[in-house]
Structure formats: structure tokens, C-alpha cells
Structure 1
Amino acid sequence: MSPFFTGLGSGLALIIAIGAQNAFVLRQGIRREYLLPVLAVCILSDAVLILLGTAGIGKLAETAPLALDAIRWAGAAFLLAYAVLSFKRALRPAALEATGGGRGTLAAAILTCLSLTWLNPHVYLDTVVLLGSLASSHGPDGRWVFAAGAVAASTLWFSALGFGARLLAPVFARPSAWRILDVAIGVFMVVLALSLVVSSP
């Protein structure tokens, strides 16, 4: 199989797994709020991490456990903070059709997206370490073709998730639907945070 399609399949297998970043993109897509900037941040961040892993940074990360530990604890703290915000939103849900109220700023959306991406150690393990290792198995030339496939997978997935979420807009015109989503996201963030803490040596 071509290194490109191997990278595409490997990237999709890792990226499609629901995580904090995907949950945020889903929410922004449903709300139709700053979706393009959020997608750009996710896609560009993944591309940078995949290329760094392909260039060999993954091996360096494996030799710096203290750095990974710091990222793990910072990520757990951020996920817990985000969970608290989700639970607060669940107490005061707003219908999708409401205008103005509850709409965040572009800076806040981008900062949240950056934090959910760069403070998540699973992102480094998946993109930098794992995809970087897989890329290296394709030789000096093939590894960059593999990386291109992985970047394409990230682009396809986030675009489908963000724009596909708009199909759920009619459901989320009701405040009760937002309450359920925010509670689910909050619980999911707590579970992720606890998994990071438990996995810490």
C-alpha cells in the first residue's frame, strides 16, 4: 500500500477517537460559532505535530519523561476547568437560535482550542510519537508521503466533524438538548482528566 494511504488510514484511526478537541469542534459546529478559525487551529496544529514527529522529534519526546509529565498534569488541570465550565453552561442552557447571549469571543474560542490541543499529552503521543514512528518505517522519502496522508486525514476528519455538526442544529434549537450535551462533555472531560492523573507514574 502507498505510504500516503497508509498515513491516511493511520491518521484517521487515531484522530477519529473522541477526545476533548473533537468534543469542542462538535460544539462549535453545532453553534456555528467561529467554526472556520477553530478548524484552522486544529488542522494546522495537527500538521505541525505530525511533521515534527516525522522529522524525528518523537524519539526526543520519549527521552524526556519529565516534560511529558508536566504536560500531563497541566492537561488534567485544564480539562477539569473546562468540565466546570460545561457544567455551569448546563445550568443555564441557551437555544441555538438565540442571538447574542452566551456567544463567546473569537479570542476565547481560539485559546480554548489551542489549550485543548497543545495541553493534551495524548495528542503528542498519537501524532508526534506514534505517527512519527510509523512514518520512519517508510524510509527517508516515503515517510514524508506518509506524513502527507496523515495530515490529509486530519483535514478530512475535522472538516467533516465541524461542518457535519450543522446537521444537528434543529435538535439543538432546544435548551434541553444543550443541557444534555454540556453535561455529557463535562463528564467526559472529568473522565479524561482522571485518566491522565491515573496514568501519571
Structure 2
Amino acid sequence: MTAPFLAGLGLGLSLIIAIGAQNLFVLRQGLRREHVALVASICIVSDAALIAIGVSGVGVILDAVPWLVDGVRWMGAAFLVGYGLLAARRVWRPTGEGLDISATDRTADSTGTSTTTTRARTRSVVLTVLALTWLNPHVYLDTVFLLGSIASTYADQRGVFAAGAVLGSVVWFSALAYGARFLGRWLARPRVWRVLDGVFAAIMILLGVSLVLPH
């Protein structure tokens, strides 16, 4: 039982530890200390659901309808490019929101941010992380197809393999989201955030374009 679990953990971590749109967003939220637990939880639950789908054998069915994956690929590309352009806009026209974390928190406390604004911001964060997760075709390739096909080789111990892969997601997203705050003192200046947004924009746009380019 230990071997399948460790195999799932190792493979899950190796697939998820890479520069990608989802990881960048989790990192950014962690640096801003905004909805950190919510974002990490959504990523973990989504990964667990996708891994369960792959292990259940649904990946074989999806493999028979490639047009579905193509549809997700184009939607994901459009979203990534759009999100990248928004990040690029923040580079040239910074608003100051979420740059100086401590100052932002003090301002929110002193002015009494409205409940409506807070809910709208939370909804925006939730929709963004869901889109970055579920509109990314690489997520399906890694979790549903690859992990699912490898899990099938463990026969009755597929569930153990899947549990290891899910633990990998829990460890990675928790470390990424909560570990980012230790960099806060170095990343609290607006100029640094403009550079980070520039990097985010470039990577997001490149990822989006790469999804629709012929491989």
C-alpha cells in the first residue's frame, strides 16, 4: 500500500510544481494576504475532484471526444490572454490596490469597506481561480488523463495512488499560499509589484498563446 501512495504523491507533486497560471494566482493572493485559505482550498478541492475523475476511468471517455478538450483549450487561451492584459494594465496604470499590504489593511479598517464591495471582490477572486483551474486544458491532461492512466496500473490500489496525488496538491498549494507571506516585507513596495505584475502578464499571455499554437 505504501508504494502506490508514494508514487501518487511523487507524481502529483512533479506535475503540479511548475510555473503556471493557477500557481501564479495562488502566489499573488498569498503575497497580498487576500482570501488565501479560500483560494488554496478551491485549488485543492478542484485537484482532488479532477484526480477522482481520472482514477474513475472517465479520462477514457473524454479521450473519445477530443472536441471537448479543444473547446476548453480555446476558452482557456482567451481567459489567460485577457487576464494577462489586465495584469499588464496594472503595470502602466497602477491603482495601488493590494500593493502596500499593511497600508491597504489599515485603510480598509479605518474607512469601513462596505459589505457589498467585499463580497464583490471575493466573488471575483473565486471566479478567477475557478477559471484558471477548470479552463486550463493542461490540468485535464495531467490529472484526468495522465494520473488516471497511471492509476489504472495499480488495479485495486488506485484509490491509494489517488490519495497520494491529492496529498501532493494539499502540500503544494498550502505551502505556496501561506509561504508567500514570508516575502511580504520585500514585496510591499508598489514598484516591486509593478515588476511582478509585468512578469505575471508576460507569462499569462505566453501560456494563453501557447495553448492555441500547433504542437
Indicate the TM-score class for this superposition, using the shorter chain for normalisation: over 0.9
> Which residue pairs with 1:164 in the alignment?
179
TM-score (norm 1): 0.95
> Unmatched 5+ residue regions in structure 2?
none
Offset at residue 85 of structure 1 (A): 1.0
Q: Percent identity?
A: 52
- SS of the aligned residue for 2:100 comes to coil
TM-score (norm 2): 0.89
Offset at residue 57 of structure 1 (A): 1.0
**Counterpart mapping for 1:167-182 below 5 A:** 167-182=182-197
- SS of the aligned residue for 1:97 comes to helix
RMSD: 1.7
Offset at residue 95 of structure 1 (A): 2.3
- Equivalent position to 2:100, from 84, 95, 100: 95
Offset at residue 17 of structure 1 (A): 1.1
Counterpart check, 1:2 vs 2:3: yes
> Which residue pairs with 2:48 in the alignment?
47
4+ runs of 1 displaced by more than 6 Å?
A: none
Inter-partner Cα distance in structure 1 for 2:214 and 2:103 = 41
Inter-partner Cα distance in structure 2 for 1:178 and 1:23 = 13
Inter-partner Cα distance in structure 1 for 2:214 and 2:35 = 34
- SS of the aligned residue for 1:18 comes to coil
Cα distance change of structure 1 residues 148 and 199 upon mapping to structure 2, 3 Å threshold: farther
- Residue pair 1:55, 1:132 contacting (<8 A) in 2 also: yes
Give deviations 1:29-59, integer Å, cap 9, x for gaps. Answer: 0000001110110000000000000000111
- SS of the aligned residue for 2:101 comes to coil
Offset at residue 89 of structure 1 (A): 1.6
**Counterpart mapping for 1:30-69 below 5 A:** 30-69=31-70
Cα distance change of structure 1 residues 88 and 97 upon mapping to structure 2, 3 Å threshold: farther
Q: Identify the range of structure 1 (84-93 vs 17-26) with the bigger mean alpha-carbon deviation.
A: 84-93
Which residue identity does 1:173 align to in structure 2?
Answer: A
Which residue identity does 1:166 align to in structure 2?
Answer: R
Inter-partner Cα distance in structure 2 for 1:149 and 1:33 = 29
Counterpart check, 1:126 vs 2:142: yes
Which structure has the larger Rg?
2
> Which residue pairs with 1:146 in the alignment?
161
Inter-partner Cα distance in structure 2 for 1:33 and 1:158 = 15
Inter-partner Cα distance in structure 2 for 1:79 and 1:145 = 34
Inter-partner Cα distance in structure 1 for 2:103 and 2:211 = 36
Inter-partner Cα distance in structure 1 for 2:149 and 2:18 = 19
Give deviations 1:68-91, integer Å, cap 9, x for gaps. Answer: 110000000000110011111222
> Which residue pairs with 2:130 in the alignment?
114
Inter-partner Cα distance in structure 2 for 1:85 and 1:172 = 20
Inter-partner Cα distance in structure 2 for 1:61 and 1:147 = 19
